[in-house]
Structure formats: C-alpha cells, structure tokens
Structure 1
Amino acid sequence: MMDTPSMDHGVACAPVLQGLWEHVRNGQEEILLSPYLPALCAFLTHVLFCAPFFVLDALGSVCQQVRSWRIAAGSGSPPSILRWFYCFWRVLFKYLTIVLPATALLQTLRSPSLPALAPSCWQLFVEVCACFLLFDMLFFIWHFSMHRVPWLYRNIHQLHHQHQTPFALASQDASSAELLSLLLLALSSAWVVGCHPLSEVLFHLLNSWMAVEDHCGYNLPWALHRLLPFLGGAPFHQAHHSLYNRNYAPYFTHWDHLFGTYYG
C-alpha cells in the first residue's frame, strides 16, 4: 500500500518522460546495458556536436562575419580541414585502443539496471544539476593537480596543451590517460549521485556539448555563457590554454574564484 502512491506520483509528474522511457526500454535492454555503450556514445556525440563548428571553421576563411565571432587575443585564423582530420583520427585511435575497453570493464563492474519508472521532471533536473556540480568539482581538483604536479603534466596533460588556440574537436585531443580519466569522472559523478538512466544520459549529452563549446574558439552571440553568467564558456577556457595557470574549472567559475585562479 505504501509503494503505490510513490509509483503513481512518479508517473503522474512526468507522463511524457514515462512514455519516452517505456519506448526506449521496450526491446532495447541489451543495447542499453551494453558495456560498450558509454564510450561509443561519448565519441559519436562528441563528433556530432563538433560538426556545426567544423562548418563555422570552414566558412571562416571566406566569411568576415564568422571571423568576427572568433575570440580575440591572437586567436588567428580558423583551423584547417587537414588539422581537423588529423585530430579526428588521433581521438578515434585512443577511444578504440584504451577508452572503449577500459570503460567496458567499468560498466561490467557497475552492473547497471533499468528501472520500470521514469524520473519526475524535478528529479531529472536535480540529478543533472548535482552531476554537473560534482563533476565540476572533481574536474577542478584533477585539472589543478595535473598542472601543479610536473610528472602528471608531462605524462598526462601536456598533450592537450599542444592547442594553445583550441578548436571544437580538440576538446578530446588529449592523452589516452586523460581521456579515460575524464570519462571515468563523468561516469563516477552519475554513479555517486545515483542518477536514473535518463538523467545520466542527459548529463552526458550536456557535458559533451559544453566541453565542445568551451574549446570551440568562438564567442558566439547565443553561447551558453551569455545566457548563464555563472558559466565561463569559451573565452574562460581559451584563457586557460593561453595562460596555463588560470581558469582550471571546466564550466562554472566559483572554484577558480575561491582559489584565486580566476582570470576574467
């Protein structure tokens, strides 16, 4: 008797989410529970989200309006198509050789399950926000450590800083160890929060988009950091690639304000 109201409440609060969840679950359990799904989705969504910026970079060589959106301070011309091509193959190789098998092992150990009920809209919102706050904190600590410990910087993080002026695809152009560590931080954040699978999927999608936008090299009029002032955005992160010892947080700015590493 005590369980029935909570189940009804879950369905009543988000009938659209419940219908979506049932549609996704029906006959798809084997795919959704595949240990290879997180890494495959991470790579494919990353490439998909980079596509609009690839178009912008291609247009930048002929369109002054596009060039005017590029972040100032010596950002130079957009990256060439050849640079995009080489970056794509480097990232793909690291995913296939390291990230995919390692995350598959982690997912096997996690043994995820698919609940019958979708989350309420409020639960979805809270879980996604909690994931972002936790991930942002963990990323700040790890990123700060990689810059302050010489061995970590040389062996794990230095490769990412080959891009003093980053572009969208370069958000995942890093060492295999760093790529794996960031994906593990994202998966661990969702696990610690105890996310519903729908919340976890939304978190990973938004996380991927924001990472791409941070590295895109454009200060676009419709960018998220213009709508949400507590986000740093592409100018914030490009300053990190230029200065190295400022702006360590991936998205929010409060940790850099607290530790005196913020550069506006």
Structure 2
Amino acid sequence: MSSHNSSELQVLCSSGQLLLQPLWDRLRTSKVPIQSPFFPVIFAIVTYLGFCLPFVVLDFLSPWVPALRRFKIHPDFSPSVQQLLPCLGQTLYQHLVFVFPVTLLHWLCSPSLLPPEAPELLQLLRDVLLCLLLFDGEFFVWHVLHHKVPWLYRAFHKVHHQNPAPFALATQYMSLWELFSLGFFDMVNITLLRSHPLTVLTFHVLNIWLSVEDHSGYDFPWSTHRLVPFGWYGGVAHHDLHHSQFNCNFAPYFTHWDRILGTCGLHPPGVQW
C-alpha cells in the first residue's frame, strides 16, 4: 500500500473515531453507571420491552384497524392477555432470579475499566457484523440439534414453540438452558473479537431488535429483510415458517446456512435460490 493510500486510511479511521467519541464520552460520564453490575440486566430488559411494546400496541389495535391486518402474517390472530402475561412474567423472572446473579458473579470476578477512546466507526461496524454472523452460525447448529434430537427438543426447546403463531413478547419465552446458551454465544463472540464496550452495546441493541422483529408477526415494507438484498436475510416471514413447520429455517437471521444445507423453506418473491 502506498504512503498516500495509507495516510488516507488513517485519516478515515481517525474521522470515524472522532465521530463516535462524543457519544462514548457522554455514555462514560452519564448518570447511568454502565459499569454497574445492575446495568446489563436493566439494559437488556428495558431494550427488549421497549422493542416489544409497539408490536403489543399494534396487536391490541389490529382487530379494530383493518389496515394493520394487511401487514400481519396471521391476519386473524392477536395474542390474548393469557398468552402475553406468562411470556412477560417468565422473561422478568429469569432475568432477575438467574441472569442477574450470573452477571454479578462475572462482574466480581473480572471487573473491567472503560477505555477512554471510542472505537473507530469501521471497526464497530465490522465487529457488529462479525458478531451477527458468528451468532447466526452458532445458533443454527444449536437449533438444528435441538430439533433433530427428540430429548433435547422436549427438555429445552419445546417451551419456545408453545405459541405456533409468534408474537413479540414470545421472543424470549424460552427455557433457562436456551436463554443461557444464547447468552454464552454472545459472550464468546465479543470476547474473541475483543470488542469495544460501545460495540457490545450496539450489537446487543441490534440483536434484540432483530429477534423481536422476527417474532413480531408483522411484515412491513420497511422490515429488515426487505432492506437487505438478494434474500440474504430471512426476516419475519422466514422465521414464522419455522414456527409453523418446525423442520426448516433454523438460522435466526441470515439464510446462507439454510440454503447451503437444504433446510430453507421459504423463497421470497422475486428471489431464485
């Protein structure tokens, strides 16, 4: 690489870091103590419920607003209070009774100092994409095993399939083993990549949003799978088919593993695989 190109790359990286530095400085010095052992659990619950709430409101309104039903995968289905409350209760219970003690133990064993410098923008985007791709592959293997081995399915994964038509609050309606498995994948990936704390926060926000959207039951013109070209991202209709048929679409987000291994069960309009 020439010295001219190298200098341009350094300037680009420095600009990306300067772009994120004010945000990182504000987070580090804010009244919200992001180094607190309470922060990860509160952050996870608030982010998750914040993403679920709009879809809960839409489900409440859809019986009286015909226009909303045009975007529902199951137009005649709306989750009842008897379905919503157990999902909400289990999410809160598992995070407070199990996730928080584990988070506290991890914090006590390896407290971390926040770096003063923000990550470079390109580095943040690269690491977030790598985390998504790694998580997608890990969960694909885990998911296939839990569907192909009857004991694993009955003991651990069946809970998540108790609602054949998914809805937002059913996203984290899962066994404790499944919840900790997904958390383990997250921790391994960000540790391997040595991700900056701001990158970790960004990844978790995006990961929670994509999970909720995939279970929401709403396929809007601006849904994520419509923004990603060539059918590389499955999206809500792709994952909904998994819940109805059980034997296809095992990857949570992207479609390449299902396409390669012949477990893809949905061809988006206009896409030939």
Fold shared per TM-score above 0.5: yes
Residues 19 and 121 of structure 2 are in contact (CA less than 8 Å); yes or no, is this contact kept in structure 1?
Answer: no
Alignment correspondent of 2:216: 216
Structure 1 distance, partners of 2:215, 2:30, is: 38
Report the Cα offset of residue 162 of structure 1: 0.2
Q: Deviations over 1:128-170 (max 9, x none)?
A: 1111111111111111111122222111111001011010010
Larger mean CA deviation between 168-177 and 148-157 belongs to 148-157
Structure 1 distance, partners of 2:213, 2:126, is: 23
Structure 1 distance, partners of 2:141, 2:180, is: 16
Evaluate the alpha carbon distance shift between residue 197 and residue 8 of structure 1 in structure 2; reply closer, same or farther with a 3 A threshold: farther
Report the Cα offset of residue 235 of structure 1: 0.5
Q: Which residue identity does 1:77 align to in structure 2? A: F
- 1:16 is aligned, of 16, 19, 26, to 19
Evaluate the alpha carbon distance shift between residue 27 and residue 226 of structure 1 in structure 2; reply closer, same or farther with a 3 A threshold: closer
Larger mean CA deviation between 170-179 and 96-105 belongs to 96-105
Evaluate the alpha carbon distance shift between residue 103 and residue 178 of structure 1 in structure 2; reply closer, same or farther with a 3 A threshold: farther
The aligned runs of 1:83-94 (5 Å cut-off) are 83-94=83-94
Structure 1 distance, partners of 2:222, 2:15, is: 34
Q: Deviations over 1:237-262 (max 9, x none)?
A: 11111111111101000011111111
Evaluate the alpha carbon distance shift between residue 188 and residue 222 of structure 1 in structure 2; reply closer, same or farther with a 3 A threshold: same
Evaluate the alpha carbon distance shift between residue 11 and residue 21 of structure 1 in structure 2; reply closer, same or farther with a 3 A threshold: farther
Structure 2 distance, partners of 1:107, 1:218, is: 38
Report the Cα offset of residue 13 of structure 1: 3.1
Alignment correspondent of 1:140: 140
Structure 1 distance, partners of 2:142, 2:107, is: 22
Report the Cα offset of residue 10 of structure 1: 5.8
Q: Deviations over 1:35-62 (max 9, x none)?
A: 3322322122110000110111011110
Larger mean CA deviation between 49-58 and 102-111 belongs to 102-111
Residues 7 and 117 of structure 1 are in contact (CA less than 8 Å); yes or no, is this contact kept in structure 2?
Answer: no
Alignment correspondent of 2:251: 249
Alignment correspondent of 1:199: 199
Report the Cα offset of residue 107 of structure 1: 4.4
Q: Which residue identity does 2:165 align to in structure 1? A: T
Residues 232 and 251 of structure 1 are in contact (CA less than 8 Å); yes or no, is this contact kept in structure 2?
Answer: yes
Report the Cα offset of residue 11 of structure 1: 4.8
Larger mean CA deviation between 180-189 and 75-84 belongs to 75-84
Residues 167 and 217 of structure 1 are in contact (CA less than 8 Å); yes or no, is this contact kept in structure 2?
Answer: yes
Residues 58 and 81 of structure 1 are in contact (CA less than 8 Å); yes or no, is this contact kept in structure 2?
Answer: no
Q: Which residue identity does 1:241 align to in structure 2? A: H
**Paired residue total:** 257
* Corresponding residue SS for 2:72: coil
Q: Which residue identity does 1:23 align to in structure 2? A: R
Structure 2 distance, partners of 1:224, 1:164, is: 22
Structure 2 distance, partners of 1:258, 1:241, is: 20
Instruction: Point out where structure 2 has 5 or more consecutive residues left out of the alignment.
Output: 1-6, 267-273
Taking only aligned residues, the RMSD between alpha carbons, in angstroms, comes to 2.2
Identical-pair percentage: 40
Alignment correspondent of 2:38: 36
Q: Deviations over 1:161-197 (max 9, x none)?
A: 1011010010100111211221221222211111111
* Corresponding residue SS for 2:164: coil
Report the Cα offset of residue 9 of structure 1: 7.8
Give TM-score, length-normalised by structure 1.
0.90
Alignment correspondent of 2:157: 157
Residues 250 and 258 of structure 2 are in contact (CA less than 8 Å); yes or no, is this contact kept in structure 1?
Answer: yes
The aligned runs of 1:1-264 (5 Å cut-off) are 11-26=14-29, 31-72=33-74, 76-228=76-228, 229-264=231-266
* Corresponding residue SS for 1:194: coil
Structure 2 distance, partners of 1:254, 1:66, is: 31
Residues 13 and 121 of structure 2 are in contact (CA less than 8 Å); yes or no, is this contact kept in structure 1?
Answer: no
* Corresponding residue SS for 1:202: helix
Q: Which residue identity does 1:43 align to in structure 2? A: I
